[in-house]
Structure 1
Amino acid sequence: MTPVLSQSLTLEDFLELPELEQSPAWEYVAGHAVQKPMPKLRHSLLQKRLLTQLDGLNENYLTLPELRCTFGGRSIVPDVVMISFNAIQFNELGEPEDQFLTAPDWAIEILSPDQSSNRVIDNLLHCLKHGSKLGWLVDPNDYSVLILTAPQDVKICRGDQLLQVLPDLELQLTAQDIFNWLKLGKKE
């Protein structure tokens, strides 16, 4: 079961919580702090492989794991995000500000066995409502990838169906490619 802090909080109060940066991540949704489940091996493996596959595809984007994104009255931590360098705020030293206060261009969530798919889809829809171009929900138990785009277009991909990526990325990836990453030590 996903831990939830019972008292209703403002976003500002949530961002001041001392346990906010503990692992696994806490998110703020509908006035409550909700802790994400602790990732297990398959989740972590898919997250690592997605990061490796996406990182450096386009010099205009940065691919990051577990970045807290606070926007539109929520504070969420997608498993993988791609963000445009134009969306990053820099300090006077030319370093990025720690607080990322906008929707990522692409948010990817990997469903954990004890995680609510509706809660995760709700966060992805929130991202799209506030400017994200693409959301993926990777379901390792169903071997499917739910693709969400604005305005609320939804598609489930399995097998050798090509997955939609950001338009300016040169990448051809199928659901089967992603789930083949789980077959450690076996070449397909």
Structure 2
Amino acid sequence: MLAPDQNQNRVTGNILHYLNFGCPSGWLIDPESRSLLIYLPHQQPLFFEAVQEVLPIPDQMADFHLTVGELFGWLQL
């Protein structure tokens, strides 16, 4: 999650580093705009902000479904 005092480029750089070493995805959550960018290997980032949008979940959790609205509801923002 992007904290108010964090630099978005630095956080994005960390996500890209993790992807290069095999992490299946990286989520950059912006609580101020209630939106998120999901980074997947070898793809453009995916942007989500509509509360009903279903977020991509790793294959190991195929039965789990999460929307943008549910995510921000859990975070109580």
Match of 2:48 among 136, 157, 160: 157
Q: How many residues align?
A: 74
Q: What's the counterpart of residue 5 of structure 1? A: none
Root mean square deviation of aligned Cα: 1.3
Q: What's the counterpart of residue 171 of structure 1? A: 64
More helix, by proportion: 2
Taking structure 1 as the reference length, the TM-score comes to: 0.37
Aligned amino acid, residue 128 of structure 1:
L
Q: What's the counterpart of residue 14 of structure 2? A: 123
* Structure label with greater radius of gyration: 1
- Aligned-partner Cα distance in 2 for 1:139–1:176: 13
Match of 1:135 among 26, 29, 46: 26
Counterpart secondary structure, 1:153: coil
- Aligned-partner Cα distance in 2 for 1:136–1:162: 14
- Aligned-partner Cα distance in 1 for 2:12–2:71: 19
Alignment identity in percent?
35
Aligned amino acid, residue 12 of structure 2:
I
- Aligned-partner Cα distance in 2 for 1:131–1:153: 17
- What runs of 5+ residues in structure 2 fail to find an aligned partner? none
1:147 and 2:77 are equivalent in the alignment: no
Counterpart secondary structure, 1:172: coil
Contact 1:125/1:152 (8 A) holds in 2: no
- What runs of 5+ residues in structure 1 fail to find an aligned partner? 1-109, 184-188
Counterpart secondary structure, 2:10: helix
Q: What's the counterpart of residue 73 of structure 2? A: 180
Which structure has more relative contact order (CA 8 Å, sep 6+)? It is: 2
Point out 4+ residue stretches in structure 1 off by more than 4 angstroms: none
- Aligned-partner Cα distance in 1 for 2:31–2:15: 17
Taking structure 2 as the reference length, the TM-score comes to: 0.86
